[in-house]
Amino acid sequence: MKKKVILSGSTVTGDLTLGNYIGAMNNWKKLSKDYNCHYFLADLHALTTAQDPKKLQERIFSFFAQYLALGLDPEENTIFVQSHIHEHAELAWILTCLTPMGNLNRMTQFKEKSQHTSNINAGLFSYPVLMAADILLYSADLVPVGEDQRQHMELCRDIVVFFENRYGEGILKMPEAYIGKQGARVMSLQDPKKKMSKSDENEKNFVSILDTPKKIEKKIKSAQTDSDTVVSFDSENKTGLANLLTIYSVLSEKPIDDIVKDYEGRMYGHLKVDLAELVVETLTPIQSAYADYMKNKDYLEELMRKGAVKARVRAQETLKNVYKATGLVPRS
Ligand code: TYM
């Protein structure tokens, strides 16, 4: 039987965080065996905020190495860089011409982002259309993402309907979001009402997967909790503690109830010390694999090239069918 297709990616800004790892990449790795997985670096999406060209290029290599270090096997999966497949931008344009402004205006991530920047460019506004193109180009069945991408996924599904209404069915595949039951929204360490984000200006709010053990300990020990002392899970009233328990549970693969029992009669501080240790234990092998990959840029470039060759096959096929359906002449 043909394996179902999975596609997901991350925008190349900052370094991947514990939030990305728990909400997305941890699932990516698990899905690799049973699905035909495509994981890419969304570098075109990164351009929606101002980027220093030299740093962006370095970060693309660093992100690629981070994906590999997380255990994504380039033989088993198709791992590639978005801008290396020009079909993403082409399909995005066609879909942009089908997407009403009103639908894009409702995107909460656009509203949030545009509140914090003076650079409200058209790319930032149409960001979710490019994301839809990423997904539809590979006829993905499933898209493993964190909770924050749910609205973008719904828009992607709406775009399929807009396309079908204009050009007919059977050309674009209707994708489904795959959102994990636990850890789909890891919260900021200092402000647990908002999500942990790699582009947060305050680095105390997130743990980067490349943070040193010392930094990790410091950040987790100083994570905001409440003035109570009993360890219990209450995501409404004890958001900070609930966030730490969730991270603990996902990384240790232990149910939250069991963890709560383990800390009966013990203080928050004990939990924080143990959690910091667990995070360091999880990230140390990833960091050492990362350091090895970063020593060999030529190898990374070679893998990028191979990934693009693999990815292009599916992308070209979809774009050819879209061109035919829309009345454009497919490139021979
Ligand atoms: P990005 O780079 O913000 O995040 C990458 C993945 O990590 C998830 N995530 C989180 N999960 C749990 N808790 C958090 N605090 C947290 N922060 C981030 C995100 O939900 C995401 O799954 N627009 C996307 C990139 C993208 C994409 C795509 C994804 C572009 N095209 C096509 C899937 C399919 C983004 O910026 O993710």
Q: Which of 109, 36, 101, 21 is nearest to 67 (CA)?
A: 21
Ligand 1 atom with the smallest distance to the CA of 188 is 15
Distance between CA atoms of residues 254 and 269, nearest Å? 19
In three-state form (DSSP H/G/I as H, E/B as E, the rest C), the secondary structure along 295-317 is CCHHHHHHHHHHHHHHHHHHHHH
Half-sphere exposure of 3 (CA within 13 A, CB side): 13
- pLDDT tens for 99-139 read 999 999 999 999 999 998 899 999 999 999 999 999 999 99
Residue 209 confidence (pLDDT): 97
The residue count of the chain comes to 332
Q: How far is 18 from 283, CA to CA, in rounded Å?
A: 9
Strand 176-178 to 142-144 pairing: parallel
User: Residues enclosing ligand 1, CB less than 6 A?
Assistant: 7-11, 19-20, 22-24, 42, 45, 131, 134-135, 143, 145-146, 148-149, 184-186, 195-196
Going along the chain, which residue ranges are E strands?
5-11, 36-42, 78-81, 142-144, 176-178
List residues bridging with 41 in a β-sheet.
Answer: 10, 81
- Assess contact for 145 and 8: CB atoms under 8 A: yes
Residue 116 pLDDT = 87
Ligand 1 midpoint to CA 128 (Å): 12
Ligand 1 centroid, distance to 106 Cα (angstroms): 19
Query: What distance in angstroms lies between residue 146's CA and the mean position of ligand 1's atoms?
Result: 6
Q: Which atom of ligand 1 is nearest to the CA of 148?
A: 20
What confidence tens digit (pLDDT) does each residue in 175-220 have?
Answer: 999 999 999 999 999 999 999 999 899 999 999 999 999 999 999 9
Which residues face 78 on adjacent strands? 38
Ligand 1 atom index nearest CA of 152: 23
**Per-residue model confidence (pLDDT) at position 332:** 81
The rounded distance, in Å, linking the Cα atoms of 108 and 110 is: 5
176 close to 195: Cβ distance less than 8 angstroms: no
10-residue mean pLDDT profile of the chain (332 residues): values are 95 95 94 96 97 97 97 97 98 98 97 91 97 98 97 98 98 97 94 94 96 98 94 95 97 97 95 98 98 98 98 98 97 84
- For 8, other C-beta atoms within 10 Å of its C-beta total 24
Residue with tokens 């509203």: 111
pLDDT for position 208: 98
Q: Which positions are catalytic?
A: 113, 195, 198
